[in-house]
A and B are shown apart, each in its own frame.
Chain A
Amino acid sequence: MSLKDSMDPRIEELLPFYALDALTDEERELVDSYLAEHPEVREQMKDLHAGASALPYGVLPVVPPRKVKESLMARVNADAKARVYSSTPRQPSRPILPGVRGENIIRTFTLGVATLAIVWVIILNTQISQLRNEISGLHETLAAQSSSLEQIIANLPKSPPSNVITVSLRGTNVQPRAHGQLVVDPNEQSAILIVSGLPKLEANKTYQVWLINGGAPVSAGLLSIDENGQGVVIVTSNESIGSFKALAISVEPQGGSPQPTGDIVVSNDL
């Protein structure tokens, strides 16, 4: 019996469009599952992919104007500098303006800063005095609450020790407002991911969570975001979460991608 005879006819219909990356999310998942279970079909898939991957070369190349590259490289070089500054300790700044005019500007600027600093110190002293009084009151309240808490803890039933930890996550330069937490037992294969500050995506896009251990990023699920920019997802993996070095979230076409292709909006070491 040939491969063609034995193949699920529905899958056979989908394969060319899988190669062309033009399936719906459900159809793509169906083919992914089938390929995982039927490695013998991959050779046929390889041929279809070969045909599809040549299509970009079939368009007429269009020579871009020089301004596009200049604009891109200016953006890239500015970003490269920002990365260097953010990864190295800042050096004490030196005046760079040459000559008398530069010195005068610096002197005026220094005088202004000193005046502001004096005013600021006076305001701070007043505030510190008020805060001391408040702290004194809070100490008394805290002592009373600590005593109650100790009593409550003493009465609690003894529970087994937990390895659950919380990892704080932060947004990349693409989404600096994004932040979140991963609640995880490193020995387990699942964890809870809570994210805030992400914009809602267009209907044909989705956020995809990745776990990275030095090799290929492993998809750990899709993340839906509500109107308030918040989302919760249970991250799952075939390996313990503790075996991964990093977690990232990227923007992908609906249904997700085999590997990240869009903007990385969250990226953190674990």
Chain B
Amino acid sequence: MASNKNATDVSVRINSEGNLMDAPDETLAIQVARGNSAALAVLYDRYASIVLGISVKVVGDQGLAEDVLQETFWRVWQSAPTYQSQLGSFTGWLFRIARNLAIDAYRRRNVRPQAISSADDSDPILDEIPDPNTDVAEQAQSILKNRQIRKALASLPAVQRQVIEMAYFYGMTRQEIAEATGEALGTIHTRARLALQKLRGEFERDEFEG
């Protein structure tokens, strides 16, 4: 199928002396720190759709979100030598960069964010069409994980989900959330704690269910 791939993807395969396509994230991050652009391309294929999903959710504008996506991976390329795997996972680091850039972009443009929505408010078929450049099995696994987590999020009471989404995706402080929702600060604390604890519980149950 290599003939269907563009030049960038071909170079990924040619340059991968080991097996970059199957390498763990942290190994790829080390390769990126050494200047291996093929390793960055593999990480992009793995996580670009999630990073773009985060960016669209925060900035509410596809074009601006694509700029954030490119800037996020450019930051990874530039800053990979400073990433320390013992301080946290690569995805934690990547998504934090994406979230910070998206919040910055949103604040600069002052674009109204997407309404905080239920987990099923867009067309799942259109949203989950895999990129032809990405590994199908990997994409399927990623979609499955997304579905499980969206299911867990959807199971939260709407008011709890709203608090953690306002905090995480829009960078709002406790006080700002209390003002925006008209609720007491203590209520906001309780909702955030319960939401995170319940999410954690859902994942543990999903792991047991396989």
Contacts and interface: CB of A to CB of B under 8 A. Distances in A.
A60 B82 contact: no
Nearest to B55: A62
Contacts of A140: none
A61 B128 contact: yes
A70 B8 contact: yes
B81 to A, nearest CB: 8
Interface in A30-77: 47-48, 50-66, 68-73, 75-77
Pick from A20, A65, A258 the residue with the most CB of B within 10 Å.
Answer: A20
29 contacts: A16-B164, A21-B96, A21-B99, A21-B168, A52-B196, A54-B149, A54-B152, A54-B199, A55-B164, A55-B199, A56-B50, A57-B149, A59-B50, A61-B52, A61-B128, A62-B53, A63-B49, A68-B48, A75-B70, A76-B40, A79-B77, A174-B78, A205-B104, A216-B87, A259-B82, A260-B79, A260-B82, A261-B96, A262-B79
A58 B150 contact: yes
A77 B150 CA distance: 36
Given A47-B200, A261-B79, A13 B189 contact: yes
| Nearest 10 A/B pairs, CB to CB | A51-B196, A22-B167, A61-B49, A51-B199, A16-B192, A59-B53, A260-B82, A56-B95, A20-B167, A51-B200
Provide the main secondary structure of the chain B interface: helix
Interface string B53-93: 11011000010011001100111011100111011110111
Contacts of B143: 61
A259 B93 CA distance: 9
A19 B57 CA distance: 20
A244 interface: no
Interface residues of B, number: 81
Provide the main secondary structure of the chain A interface: mixed
Pick from A79, A217, A261 the residue with the most CB of B within 10 Å.
Answer: A261
Given A16-B196, A55-B168, 7 more contacts: A16-B192, A56-B99, A58-B146, A60-B122, A62-B56, A75-B74, A204-B107
A215 B82 CA distance: 10
Interface string B94-132: 011111100010010000000000010010100111110
Contact of A80 (B35, B56, B119): B35
Nearest to A50: B200
B172 interface: yes
Given A21-B96, A57-B50, A259-B87, A80 B82 contact: no
Nearest to B94: A56
A217 B44 CA distance: 25
A269 interface: no
B53 A61 contact: yes
Interface in A232-270: 248, 250, 253, 258-264
B66 A16 contact: no
A183 interface: no
Interface of A: 13, 15-17, 19-24, 47-48, 50-66, 68-73, 75-77, 79-80, 83, 172-174, 202, 204-205, 210, 215-217, 248, 250, 253, 258-264
Given A57-B149, A262-B100, A63 B131 contact: yes
Contacts of B86: 216
A17 B169 CA distance: 12
Nearest to A71: B70
B31 interface: no
A73 B50 contact: no
B13 interface: no
A63 B74 contact: no
A62 B65 contact: yes
Contact of A51 (B50, B84, B197): B197
A86 to B, nearest CB: 12
